[in-house]
Every structure is written in structure tokens, then in C-alpha cells.
Structure 1
Amino acid sequence: MTARTALVVGGTSGIGLATARQLQALSHEVHVAGRSRQTLDGLAESDPGLIRHHADGGDRDRMAAVAEEIGSIDWLVLTLSGSEGQGPIADLDLGTLRRAFDAKLWAQLTTIQAVLPRLTADGSITVLGAITARMGMAGTAGLAALNGAIEALVKPLAIELAPIRVNGVSPGLVDTPWWSALPEEARQDYFAAAAKALPVGHVASADELAEVVVLAATNGNLTGTVLEADGGARLITLG
């Protein structure tokens, strides 16, 4: 494969970092953007081959400046996320949910607009949603609305921006820092119970999801598609 240029926004941890590492392992030039200077400085030690940019996906001017600095971009990967927005609807703080939309949906839209002028004609955009968009799981109405909105972008943008390809990836349970707010023992207990219920028999790793993201970003015949990489979570009931 000819070397290409990728920008992974939210690429400093979890699925984003795993994706950046896999793309770099394929000998592509990989840029990562993140909000935390400390995390970016850490990548200078652990992943010196990744080109780092301090930027917030919700800041259009900054993201446009990053794209200008990079020049031509083949693959834009958006793995922006947040830890807010879940809970029973009767008690859900709508201000908190609004912040979750700002951090994920609006930041992804803002980044797409900012970077679009620098995307190559045969390039791609890959967004990250979540399987909550299609599950009936109590306490996830806010997350379902958020991720449903993100994944709803894929088909119309695939038509509007063609020949640029647009795809989404819809993860289920993934062992990433997203779960860091949960006490370690509680997290391990939940993951163990979930693994028994999931058809694949385990909770996904960031590397497993990254393989799917790389496919969505790089496969020239894939567009307008949301790839469900949830271990079969949508087929069962998770507590």
C-alpha cells in the first residue's frame, strides 16, 4: 500500500491511539490531535513516530490550523468521546447531556468542517459512535441519542462528499480509559459478567476496535457504512 497521511482526532488514548499505532505500523504518516498536553508529552516518549498536535476538536480555528500545517490529509479519523450522558431519563441532567453532545457530536462536526478543505478526493472520514444507538438498555437514552446522531451522519455525508468516503464504527464494550471513573474492582466484576453474556465471550480490546477503524478508513470500496464491532452486544441484554 502506498504511504498515506492520517489525522486521528482524539488519538491520544484508547481506540484512537490504538488506531494511530496500527496505521503507523503500516508505514503511513500519522498525526494525532488531543486536548491534554500532558498526554501528548507522554506520547513523545512512548510513540515518538506519531506527529502530535495540541488541539480541541471543538475549536474550528485550531483544527483548521492543524489541517493547514499537515497539508494534504487522506484519512480523517474521529475518535472523540466523553464520559457523560448516561443515567435514567427521569434523573438525567440535560445540561450534562448537552455537554456530552458538545464533546462528541459537535466536536466531530466542527472537525469535519475544519479539515474538509484539506482532504484528498479519494480520502475518507471515519466517525466513532457506539452500539447504544441500537440497543434497548435502561439508563442509556442519552447515549443512544448522542451516538444515533453521530451514526446518522454517515449515509448522507457519503453521498454529499463523494468520492470522499464516509464510514462509522459502532463499538460495544471496550476495555479503554473510558471506564476509568469506575472503581477497578467494580469494573472488573462488570466486565467478567459481560464477557459471560457476550456471544464472543470477552470484552473487546482497543486493538480489536482499531482494526475495524483502520478497515473503514483505508478500504477504498467501503462507504456509507456503520460497522458494528460490539461482540454481539446488540443481540443480548446487558445489565
Structure 2
Amino acid sequence: MTLSNPGLHQQTIVVIGAGSGIGAAVAHQAAARGARVVLAGRDLQALQRQQARLPDSARSIVVDMTDAASLNALFQAVGGFDHLVISAGPAVVAKPLADTDLQDAQRAFEVKFWGVWRAVQAALPYLAAHGSISLTSGLLSRKLVPGQVLKTTLNAALEALGKHLAKELAPRRVNVISPGVTDTEAYAGMTAEARATMFAKTAASLPVGRVGLPGEVAAAFILAMENGFISGSLIDVDGGGLL
């Protein structure tokens, strides 16, 4: 049995979280494969900066992951499409459970867990029957580090959701990409010195000897979209961080 694989050429991809980092890298790699890319996120200027480097078919749409009406408006504006990528997530400060404010934890879940829930619900009427959904977790879902209780539980919940949806939404495919420490704007709140120190410490602990690059993680999203035999998978791109 032989199946043709058109790749992403002329397919429409919605990337939520496309203004920077991994989401922006996914948008650029997909566009390079001939996809029509919709860049979505909270910051219109950031989206438009990325769009300016993409083909004319690219579009930018502001969306709020915490607002069901905003997500519904996004997918109504897009219409039928082939692949959904969600890389948007909140900044989470490492704290032990005793020092974590419950409202802060709830706000993080509101974006990265319930936001994904809302986004998938809003997308389903428009997502192609053989399309795909790719979500983003992180290695802390399975690497237990004191002070990271919020990231651990948040990412673990998202991974469970992804696996369940792969069964429930079939033949649509659902996968979760799990990055390790990646050099993105997510660390922009740190001083340059603190960021360099953290990256060096992480690099020393990894078999590959360095932190990741956004394009390397984006390549896993491209794989998940292009390979029609990958579903229900958790794809680690962490430099060996779980070893």
C-alpha cells in the first residue's frame, strides 16, 4: 500500500503563539514548505514582524487564549484549515508549592491548559478531517525538580489531554512536542548574565552539551504535521535532558 505525502504545500496552518520563539520558527519552516500560515497571538506587532518575513499568503490575527469568543472569531476568520499548532504559554516562576499563590497557578492553567481546551473546541468545526493538532508541553512534566510543581503538573495535564484527544478526534491526529531548555524570548525577563549562567549550567548537564534552538524544536512540529502515521505521540526535543 502506497500513500502519497504532499507535505505542507498549499495547506493552511494556524500557529497560536507565532509572535516569537518556537511558534515563530514553526511558522517560518511551514511557510518554507509552501504552507499558507496564519500567525496568531496576543501581540499584533510581534505577529506582523514575523509576517513581514513570510510570503504574501501569511496572515496575522490577534487572539486571547483565555477568551472563547476571541478563539471562535479566530477560526471563523480562518475558515477551513489543515493543521493547528499551539505553542503559546504563560511565564511561570519556579516556586515550591508552599510559596505558590493559587491564583497565579490558576492563571497559568487558564492559558496553557484551559486555553488549549478552548482552542481545540473552537477549531474543530473548521479542522480538516485528516488534519492534525500539535501541542507544546515540556520536559518538566516527567523530570521532577523541586520548585517546579506548577510546570510539572501543567505540562503533565496537557500531555494527558493530547493523548486522549488523539483517540477521541481520530482520524485527526494529535501529538505533543516536549522541548527542553531552548534559547527563546521566554527568558527575556532575566538579565543577560543570569540567562547565560542558566544556559551554561543546563548545557553542562546535557549529553549534547548545549541548550536547544527554536528551529530544532520547530522541526519536530513539522514532522508531526507531515507524517500521517504519527498520532498520540509525545515527541521529546530536549538534548537528552530526560536521561
Flag whether TM exceeds 0.5 (same fold). Answer: yes
| Mapped pair 1:30 → 2:37 | yes
1:52 maps to what in 2? 60
| Mapped pair 1:117 → 2:125 | yes
Amino acid at match of 1:24: A
* Structure 1 vs Structure 2 CA RMSD: 1.3
Alignment of 1:83-162 (within 5 A): 83-84=91-92, 86-162=94-170
Alignment of 1:3-14 (within 5 A): 3-14=10-21
2:176–2:233 Cα contact (<8 Å) kept: yes
Tell me by how many angstroms 1:38 deviates.
Answer: 2.5
TM-score with structure 2 setting the length: 0.93
Amino acid at match of 2:18: G
Tell me by how many angstroms 1:26 deviates.
Answer: 0.1
190, 197, 212: which one aligns with 1:189? 197
Tell me by how many angstroms 1:80 deviates.
Answer: 1.2
Structure 1, residues 65-99: CA drift from partner, whole Å, max 9, x if none?
Answer: 22122221110001111112531122111211111
Q: For residues 222 and 110 of structure 2, what CA distance do their matches in structure 1 show?
A: 25
196, 206, 214: which one aligns with 2:214? 206
Moved more, 215-224 or 81-90: 81-90
2:174 maps to what in 1? 166
Structure 1, residues 156-204: CA drift from partner, whole Å, max 9, x if none?
Answer: 1111100000000011100011111111101101111211210111100
| Mapped pair 1:77 → 2:81 | no
Q: For residues 222 and 84 of structure 1, what CA distance do their matches in structure 2 show?
A: 30
1:64 maps to what in 2? 72
Amino acid at match of 1:209: V
Q: 1:54 to 1:146 in 2, by over 3 A?
A: same
2:13–2:82 Cα contact (<8 Å) kept: yes
Amino acid at match of 1:76: L
Q: For residues 52 and 32 of structure 2, what CA distance do their matches in structure 1 show?
A: 17
Moved more, 201-210 or 41-50: 41-50
2:31–2:54 Cα contact (<8 Å) kept: no
Q: For residues 162 and 41 of structure 1, what CA distance do their matches in structure 2 show?
A: 34
Q: 1:47 to 1:110 in 2, by over 3 A?
A: same
SS at match of 2:176: strand
Amino acid at match of 1:5: T
SS at match of 1:139: coil
- Extract structure 1 runs of 4+ deviating beyond 4 A: none
SS at match of 2:98: coil
Tell me by how many angstroms 1:43 deviates.
Answer: 3.0
1:16 maps to what in 2? 23
Identity percentage over the alignment?
A: 38
Amino acid at match of 2:40: A
Moved more, 118-127 or 215-224: 215-224
2:166–2:172 Cα contact (<8 Å) kept: yes
What stretches of structure 1 of length at least 5 have no aligned partner?
none
2:134–2:174 Cα contact (<8 Å) kept: yes
Q: For residues 174 and 145 of structure 1, what CA distance do their matches in structure 2 show?
A: 20
